[in-house]
Chains A and B, each alone.
Chain A
Amino acid sequence: MSLDISAVRAIATLARIELGEEELAPLAGELSNILNFVEQLSEVNTDGIEPMSSVADLGLPMRADLVTDGDIAEQILANAPEAAEGFFTVPKVVE
């Protein structure tokens, strides 16, 4: 599997990482190498094998429905690059 420049551009858009035009070709090469490397997995017969998304062999622990957190707006906003009137702010989003 090899990726061309337009594929790299599309992935970068999806990942929200701005790339300069000059970065596209080298990245296409690197990413294609990686894909070629991982493609050896196709040799492995995995018929009937369940995908393993966690090694932890337990059910999901649940917590009680209690309010134990929040009321820390100041701390939530303390690291914000930009905030106003208790809100985070961003460039205006037009719907």
Chain B
Amino acid sequence: MAYLIEGETGAWEIVIGLEVHAQVISNAKLFSGAATTFGAEPNSQVSFVDAGFPGMLPVINEVCVEQAVRTGLGLKAKINLTSVFARKNYFYADLPQGYQISQYDKPIVGEGELILDLADGSTRTVGIERLHLEQDAGKSIHDMHPTKSFIDLNRSGVALMEIVSKPDLRSPEEAGLYLTKLRSILRYLGTCDGNMQEGSMRCDANVSVRPVGSTELRTRCEIKNVNSIRFVQQAIEYEARRHVEVYESGGEIRQETRLFDSGRGETRSMRSKEHAHDYRYFPDPDLLPLVIEQAFVDGIKAGLPELPDEKKARFMAEYGLNAYDAGVLVAEKTSAEFFETVAKGRDPKLACNWVMGDFFAALNASGKTIEEPPVTAANLGAMIDLITDGTLSGRLAKDVFALMVETGKAPAVLVEERGLKQVTDTGAIEAAIDAVLAANPDKVQQVRDGKTTLLGWFVGQVMKATQGKANPALVNELLAKKVQG
């Protein structure tokens, strides 16, 4: 069901396009040899090039070009063998050259696509308009002094990929799915770490609304630099409702740049960007056109990892997982690898249930990462083996799993230490059953009179008598025989 805003005059559809700035993973900056690591002392990762000193010239970093091409290939996009760097001219305190070197009418990557995995297991394809390489600006800090802003140029010149979607998104939820999926692809490719808190992935959202059934594109507003997926969704929702209210009260929307105030959950006009911008783009005369060979692209293509969509398809085909489970497992490369280690040579459905269930719960509860998990894939696999060979019942396995989280020990060790082995000795189970039946003759009679639902109660009693160690299947089987007698 489409996401619509019910207004007084009817239903409105939201039209959303996202521009994501993704920081390229590289050692050095796009046009200088200064480092890119996060959190360094102010101005310590700055060369004279990054600080826009007189006579300084840009020289492009080959790995940044590779990363852009790799990302383009990951988005199934057209790679432009010739692209051009242009200067985007504007004055700002953290823009030392007085222009940003970016790409304008000839970006390195053209049209591509991204597949959204919707909650109901279906998918939807969103168009990618382009991806281009550009420099990041420095950072202005406004809260260190009552009358001054402080400027740190450490980020100045760090390579960014600006990834622009087509206006294909129709709800805050889809925007969230888009960002999640894009981040997943970038991380699989190793081209961006996707860390929104540290600013290595930032999102601008272009939002407009239109009456349902209309195909027009109304005036859009750009909400700048929102730093979490949740905030992007909130900002879109707020902004779309604002548009509807303005239109329905007879007003007009002005094209403008807005900021999201996460404290108030509102967007507001950015006064500093008020006067019309005229970026005066022109080809950067310090840089010749970037010409890459098809062989360069092919080499990168050959080295691409299996990406989330392909992996998901394979998990469904190879392991028989449903779309939802497969989608969750492949969202992160590390969780997909974890699952595959657990599933190797075992029942994939069982592996999936344990990874998606108890394991993910433990991961969340522990605050650990999948790189250093609360239970290793090898131990979880070994535990599943103990279930399969009958050593552990499902119920016992849950106890063992909890102990594995607590102690980090291997499941076999825990079973041995704590005597948690499942009882499969029919004699012992029969004895327990006989005792329970003997103690409850009236209930036995009720079962024999047809109240078979009571059988479950008897199973529980027998399990209790055996401290949960009895093999539940055997209990069921033997109990049925004895009661029916």
Interface residues of A (CB under 8 A from B): 13-14, 16, 53-54, 56, 58-73, 75-77, 84-95
Given contacts A70-B35, A85-B144, whether A16 and B151 have CB atoms under 8 Å apart is no
Q: A93 contacts B43, CB within 8 Å?
A: no
Chain B's nearest CB lies how many Å from the CB of A29? 23
The majority secondary structure among interface residues of chain A is: loop
A56: chain B residues within 8 A (beta carbon): 288
Q: B270 contacts A95, CB within 8 Å?
A: yes
A63: chain B residues within 8 A (beta carbon): 33, 59-62
Q: How many residues of B are in contact with the other chain, CB < 8 A?
A: 54
Given contacts A62-B65, A66-B27, A84-B150, whether A73 and B145 have CB atoms under 8 Å apart is no
Q: Mark B9-38, 1 if CB is under 8 A from A, else 0.
A: 000000000000000001110001111000
- How long is the Cα–Cα vector from A69 to B149 in the complex, in angstroms? 26
B27: chain A residues within 8 A (beta carbon): 65-67
B28: chain A residues within 8 A (beta carbon): 65-69
Q: B151 contacts A90, CB within 8 Å?
A: yes
Q: Mark B250-284, 1 if CB is under 8 A from A, else 0.
A: 00000000010000000000111001001010110
Interface residues of B (CB under 8 A from A): 26-28, 32-35, 41-49, 51, 59-65, 91, 93, 140-142, 144-153, 259, 270-272, 275, 278, 280, 282-283, 285, 287-291
Q: A59 contacts B291, CB within 8 Å?
A: yes
Q: Which of A53, A65, A66 counts the most B-chain CB atoms under 10 A from its CB?
A: A65
Chain A's nearest CB lies how many Å from the CB of B98? 9
Q: B43 contacts A87, CB within 8 Å?
A: yes
B285: chain A residues within 8 A (beta carbon): 53-54
Q: List the 8 closest pairs (A to B, CB-CB), nearest first.
A: A68-B33, A70-B34, A65-B63, A69-B33, A87-B150, A69-B47, A62-B62, A59-B291
Given contacts A71-B44, A95-B142, whether A64 and B151 have CB atoms under 8 Å apart is no
Q: A60 contacts B43, CB within 8 Å?
A: no
Given contacts A56-B288, A76-B48, A90-B93, whether A67 and B35 have CB atoms under 8 Å apart is yes
- How long is the Cα–Cα vector from A84 to B142 in the complex, in angstroms? 13
Chain A's nearest CB lies how many Å from the CB of B158? 12
- How long is the Cα–Cα vector from A4 to B87 in the complex, in angstroms? 28
- How long is the Cα–Cα vector from A65 to B66 in the complex, in angstroms? 11
Q: B290 contacts A60, CB within 8 Å?
A: yes
From B153, B275, B287, A76 is in contact (CB under 8 Å) with B153
